[in-house]
Amino acid sequence: MNQVVFIELINPFKDKVFRLAKRLLTSTEEAEDATQEVMVKLWNKKESLDAYNSVEALAMTMTKNYCLDQLKSKRASNLQIVHNNFTDRQPQLDKRLEDENTLEWVEKIINDLPEQMQLIIQLRDVEQYEFDEIAKIVNMNETAIRVALSRARKKIRESMTNTHLYGTK
């Protein structure tokens, strides 16, 4: 496999690799390093990539494993997961402030979820992966993923409801 074919193969999902790394590592620099490391590993495996059903799923699995290894080997207790890759369409100031406040609350709630639920929320709701792809990446069956996703969404919904209803009774 030559370099041009390899680049065409990885281009469609390299941004997803970066976003997953950023979700897990929080630091842009560390996410860039992780993305580069995964791309190098894929390049070194370029001759055997045809054997894999989904190179994208392989890359996402490699990214998840690399980031989790980084978190374990370094200052895992000092890092927190941050989600900030949303777009701002310049609504009115009060709406923008309300949206920012809501995003902060959702971020806090997600950060309080178990790590596995955080990862499933990221892959399904942010990256829009299908359940079969998530199953390959996190090494779980689809039913368990659906249950974990449902529970995570329910916890987020309940926490947000409690937050918005506070003081109204």
Lowest mean pLDDT among 23-27, 39-43, 74-78: 74-78
Structure tokens at 6: 């390899």
Co-location of 95 and 161 in the same domain: yes
What pLDDT was estimated at residue 119? 92
What pLDDT was estimated at residue 153? 92
Co-location of 73 and 109 in the same domain: no
| pTM (predicted TM-score) | 0.56
Show which of 79, 105, 136 is a domain's final residue: 79
Q: What residue numbers bound the domain in which 97 lies?
A: 88-169
Co-location of 70 and 121 in the same domain: no
Co-location of 151 and 101 in the same domain: yes
Is pLDDT above 80 for 156?
yes
Show which of 49, 79, 109 is a domain's final residue: 79
Question: What's the CATH code of the domain at 118?
Answer: 1.10.10.10
Closest Cα partner for 152 from 126, 117, 119?
117
What value does the mean pLDDT take over residues 23-27? 86
